[in-house]
Structure 1
Amino acid sequence: MKDVFARLGADFFSTILFIAIYLTTDNVLLATGVAIVGAIAQVIYSRVKGKELGYMTWASLGLVIVLGSATLLTHDPRFVLAKPAIGHFAIGVIMLKRGWMLRYTPSIVTQTVPEYVTFAGYAWAALCFLLAAGTIGVAMTGDMKLWTFYVTVVLVGAKIAAFAIQYIAFRSLVGSRLRAAAQRA
C-alpha cells in the first residue's frame, strides 16, 4: 500500500506542488513556474537515481511543460487547470478495455462474479470521463479557489466513494453467490 501512495505522489507531484504554491502565495504564474521546474527536477532526479520512468511520468512532464508554458505565455490559468482533465480522459480511455480490472481484484471476486468486475471497469471509465468533463468545466471558469476545491475534494472524494460502493457491492454479490451455491449443494 505504501508503494501505491508513493507512485500516486510521484504521478501527481507537479499538481501537488502547484496547489501548495498557489495556496501559500495566491499567485498562479509563480505556482505554474514552480510546477514546471518541479516536474523537470523530478525527472532529472529519477534519471540520476537510475529509476525507471513510466509512461505517466513522461506524459505528466509533457503536459506540465506544454500547458504550463501556455499559461505563462498567455497569463491564462485555464491551460494549466485543464491538466487533470487530460489525465482523467486518458485513463478513462484505457479503462474501456474489457476486463482491465480483473487483474486488480481478489481472486474470489474474479472467480465468483467476473461479469460484475467487467461492468465495474466500465463504470470506472465513465467516472473518469465525468470527472474530466467536470474538471474542464471548472477550469473554464478560471476560478482558482473552485478549481482547488474540485481537484482536492471532488476528484478524490468521488474516487473514494466509488471504491467504497464497489467494495460493498462486490462483497454483497460474492456473499450472495456463495450462499446460493452452498444451498444448491
Structure 2
Amino acid sequence: MKLLLDFFPIVLFFVAFKIWGIYVATAAAIVATIAQIAWLRYSQGKVEPMQWLSLGIIVVFGGATILAHDETFIKWKPTVLYWLMGGALAAGLLFFRKNLLKSLMGAQLVLPDAAWRTLNWSWVTFFAVMGVLNLWVAFNFDTDTWVNFKLFGGMGLMAVFVVAQALYLGRYMKDAKEAGAGEP
C-alpha cells in the first residue's frame, strides 16, 4: 500500500499528461501530492522530512509551471529533488559526520561503518547521475519522451539500483546471520 501511495502522484501526472497535457498534469501532481501528505498525516500522525521537501518542490516548481505557462519549471523538479536528497546525504557525512542512511535504517540493518559509507556515497552518486540524466532527457527530447522517461526510465533505473544495493548488502546479511547462529 505504501508503495502505491508513494507513486500515486507520478502515475497520476503521467495519466493526466497523456489525456490533457502538461499543465493539467502538473496541477494534478500538485493536488495528488497534497492529498498524499494529508493522508499520511491523518493515517500515521507524521510526515517524513523528505516528503515535506517533495511537497514544497512540487508546489514551487509546479506552481511556476502553471503560472508562467512554461514547462521548463516542472522539468527541473526531479533534478532539484534528486540533487537535494543527494546533497543532504553528502552534507551529513562531510559536514556533520553523520550518515543519514544509517540514522534512518540502522534499526533494520546491522552493517559495518564502511558498508554504511559505501551505501551512502552510492546513493549520493545515484541521485547526482539521475539529476543530470533528467536534465539531459528533458532538454534534448520532446516533453512526451521526458514524461515517459520520468515514469518508466526513472522508476526502472531506481529498481535496478535498489537490486544492486540489495546484492551488495547481501554479503553483510550472511555475516550477520552467521554471527547470530553461534549465539545460544
2:109 to 90, 106, 109: 106
Q: Which residue of 2 aligns with 1:116?
A: 115
Q: Which residue of 2 aligns with 1:19?
A: 14
Q: Which residue of 1 aligns with 2:79?
A: 85
**Distance change >3 Å, CA 126–CA 76, structure 1 → 2:** same
Contact kept? 2:86, 2:123, Cα under 8 Å: yes
User: Is structure 2 residue 47 aligned with structure 1 residue 53?
Assistant: yes
1:140-151 superposed matches below 5 A: 140-141=139-140, 143-151=142-150
Structure 1, unpaired ranges of 5+: 180-185
Q: Which amino acid aligns with 1:160?
A: A
Structure 2, unpaired ranges of 5+: 94-98, 179-184
Q: Which residue of 2 aligns with 1:64?
A: 58
- Tell me how far apart the structure 1 counterparts of residues 82 and 12 of structure 2 sit (CA, whole Å): 19
Q: Which residue of 2 aligns with 1:134?
A: 133
Aligned-partner SS, 1:52? coil
- Tell me how far apart the structure 2 counterparts of residues 171 and 56 of structure 1 sit (CA, whole Å): 26
Aligned-partner SS, 1:82? helix
Offset of 1:162 from its aligned partner? 2.0
CA deviation string 1:113-141 (max 9, x = no partner):
53133122101111101101111222234
Offset of 1:49 from its aligned partner? 6.2
Offset of 1:82 from its aligned partner? 1.7
CA deviation string 1:16-46 (max 9, x = no partner):
32112112x1511121222233334444555
Number of equivalences: 169
**Distance change >3 Å, CA 36–CA 27, structure 1 → 2:** same
**Distance change >3 Å, CA 174–CA 67, structure 1 → 2:** closer
**Distance change >3 Å, CA 56–CA 77, structure 1 → 2:** same
TM-score (ref. length: structure 1): 0.72
Offset of 1:76 from its aligned partner? 1.8
The Cα RMSD (Å) is 3.2
CA deviation string 1:118-171 (max 9, x = no partner):
122101111101101111222234622221232222222222222222332333
TM-score (ref. length: structure 2): 0.72
- Tell me how far apart the structure 2 counterparts of residues 41 and 170 of structure 1 sit (CA, whole Å): 34
- Tell me how far apart the structure 1 counterparts of residues 36 and 173 of structure 2 sit (CA, whole Å): 43
Give aligned-pair identity as a percent.
Answer: 21
Q: Which residue of 2 aligns with 1:31?
A: 25
CA deviation string 1:64-98 (max 9, x = no partner):
22212221233221211221111111110122233
1:75 to 69, 76, 79: 69
Q: Which structure is larger by alpha-carbon Rg, 1 or 2?
A: 1
